């Protein structure tokens, strides 16, 4: 990112754009032509998908089991959608049966879920939901902001029509771009619109002309961010997707084993826990916020707080991308052990670390 800037239509940058698209297709596991990074963070990717695919009055089914499903509903409503929410308790997944039941009574244009709910630590399996959506004649949309690069994301195999992600999670890049991809069917739906896309900035046709072969000027791409994404994707592919997913998995298992020795529980639904975002139930008698503050001030370790109904009840421990290492798992367990000890809990730090090993 500290390299000198070139112009956004400079041949060197144009070449880099092609490489970014090719690498993104590989990371998303798709052959979709319409694959590129939107200038903006993950929420811009969410907005990109929804503004292009929804027209006022369209019916949309959205799975809501955390902050980001809730945000999708907000954005879809701003696009004029009639939203049908399929809700699950925060920490649990959206069950295919819930979607199936909803589709018995509705004919939506789009079904959307969040793959990895960062606010709760739950990973909703999507293949069955995608099949149900298509059988009902709807498009299927997926939020992969936290999943991409940290666990399997297979856009073509899972027949996802619209997907967005972010750079700052398991791609280990600074925030600022939102990788997106549209299937042919999604592009057709956007092309058949009766009304103009209400966002000029996020219009897929305008952006497609800039990122496609025509290179029609649309907006000035954030050059430096694209350097960063190029390098981040190169590193992901150098490691290999399967190996990277496996690394996230084993470090999650190590953390889980250490936490179990500490007598702590993971909060998300068993069998559907994220490897890259571990939600830990705060034990009785422990002040959630003061542990989090001491982790930061005394150990230089930042963990997230619970949000919404989980506020004060969980810690959110990220092991994303480059930060998913055994050293980080152990540093966190060592620090947490010390803080719990200071709070009067009996802790055998060596046994905790041995379990993580
Ligand atoms: C699952 C999910 N979706 C969407 C977003 C929004 O992304 P951003 O904050 O980059 O706009 C986030 C951010 O944490 C997220 O975790």
Residues 29, 79 within the same domain: yes
Nearest C-alpha to atom 2 of ligand 1 is from which residue? 145
Which atom of ligand 1 sits closest to the CA of residue 117?
1
pLDDT digits (tens, 9 = 90+) for 132-178: 999 999 999 999 999 999 999 999 999 999 999 999 999 999 999 99
Which two tokens mark 74? 């907000």
Provide the pLDDT confidence category of residue 214 given band limits of 50, 70 and 90. Answer: confident
Provide the pLDDT confidence category of residue 279 given band limits of 50, 70 and 90. Answer: very high
Residues 273, 212 within the same domain: no
Residues 195, 325 within the same domain: no
- Residues ≥6 apart with Cβ < 8 Å to 161: 139, 140, 141, 182, 183, 185, 186
How many whole angstroms from 69 Cα to the centroid of ligand 1? 10
How many whole angstroms from 68 Cα to the centroid of ligand 1? 7
Domain boundary among 239, 261, 295: 239
Query: Is there a domain that residue 170 lies in?
Result: yes
Provide the pLDDT confidence category of residue 81 given band limits of 50, 70 and 90. Answer: very high
Which two tokens mark 201? 């900035």
Domain that residue 162 falls in: 11-239
**Best of 46, 47, 67, 68 for a ligand 1 pocket test (most atoms within 8 Å of beta carbon):** 68
Q: Please say whether the beta carbons of 233 and 256 come within 8 A.
A: no
Domain boundary among 211, 239, 267: 239
How many whole angstroms from 200 Cα to the centroid of ligand 1? 22
Query: Is there a domain that residue 219 lies in?
Result: yes
How many whole angstroms from 225 Cα to the centroid of ligand 1? 17
Query: Within 10 A of 338 (CB to CB), how many other CB atoms are there?
Result: 16
Residues 86, 191 within the same domain: yes
Residue 212, burial from CB neighbour count under 10 angstroms (0-12, 13-18, 19+): middle
Which domain CATH number covers 105?
A: 3.40.640.10
Which domain CATH number covers 272?
A: 3.90.1150.10
Ligand 1 contacts CB of residue 147 (under 6 A): no
Distance of CA 177 to the CA centre of its chain: 13
- The model carries a pTM of 0.98
| Residue ranges with strand state E in the chain | 34-39, 59-64, 82-87, 110-114, 116-117, 122-123, 139-143, 162-164, 177-182, 277-281, 304-305, 314-318
pLDDT digits (tens, 9 = 90+) for 169-210: 999 999 999 999 999 999 999 999 999 999 999 999 999 999
Domain boundary among 239, 263, 282: 239
Residues 235, 172 within the same domain: yes
| Distances, alpha carbon 114 to alpha carbons 140, 141, 262, in Å | 11, 9, 31
pLDDT at 213 over 90: no
């Amino acid at each position: 990112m500290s390299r000198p800037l070139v112009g956004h239509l400079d041949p060197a940058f144009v070449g880099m754009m092609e490489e970014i698209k090719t690498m993104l297709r590989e990371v998303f596991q798709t052959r979709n032509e319409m694959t590129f990074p939107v200038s903006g963070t993950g929420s811009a990717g969410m907005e990109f998908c929804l503004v292009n695919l929804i027209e006022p009055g369209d019916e949309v089914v959205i799975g809501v089991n955390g902050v980001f499903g809730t945000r999708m509903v907000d954005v879809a409503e701003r696009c004029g959608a009639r939203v049908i929410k399929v809700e699950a308790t925060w920490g649990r997944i959206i069950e295919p049966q819930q979607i199936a039941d909803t589709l018995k009574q509705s004919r939506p244009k789009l079904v959307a879920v969040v793959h990895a709910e960062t606010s709760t630590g739950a990973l909703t399996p999507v293949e069955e939901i995608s099949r149900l959506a298509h059988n009902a004649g709807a498009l299927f949309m997926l939020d992969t902001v936290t999943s991409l690069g940290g666990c399997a994301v297979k856009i073509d195999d899972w027949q996802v029509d619209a997907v967005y992600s972010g750079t700052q999670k398991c791609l280990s890049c600074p925030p600022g771009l939102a990788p997106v991809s549209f299937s042919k069917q999604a592009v057709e739906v956007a092309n058949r619109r009766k009304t103009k896309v209400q966002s000029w900035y996020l219009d897929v046709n305008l952006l497609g002309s800039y990122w496609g072969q025509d290179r029609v000027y649309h907006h000035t791409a954030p050059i430096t961010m694209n350097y960063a994404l190029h390098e981040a994707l190169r590193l992901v592919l150098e490691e290999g997707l399967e190996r990277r997913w496996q690394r996230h998995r084993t470090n999650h298992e190590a953390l889980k084993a250490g936490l179990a020795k500490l007598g702590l529980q993971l909060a998300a639904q068993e069998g559907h826990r994220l490897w890259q975002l571990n939600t830990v139930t705060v034990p009785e008698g422990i002040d959630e916020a003061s542990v989090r503050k001491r982790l930061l001030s005394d150990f230089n370790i930042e963990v997230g707080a619970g949000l919404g109904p989980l506020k004060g009840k969980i810690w959110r421990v990220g092991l994303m991308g480059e930060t998913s290492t055994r050293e980080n798992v152990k540093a966190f367990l060592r620090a947490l052990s010390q803080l719990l000890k200071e709070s009067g809990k009996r802790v055998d730090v060596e046994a905790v670390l041995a379990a993580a090993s």
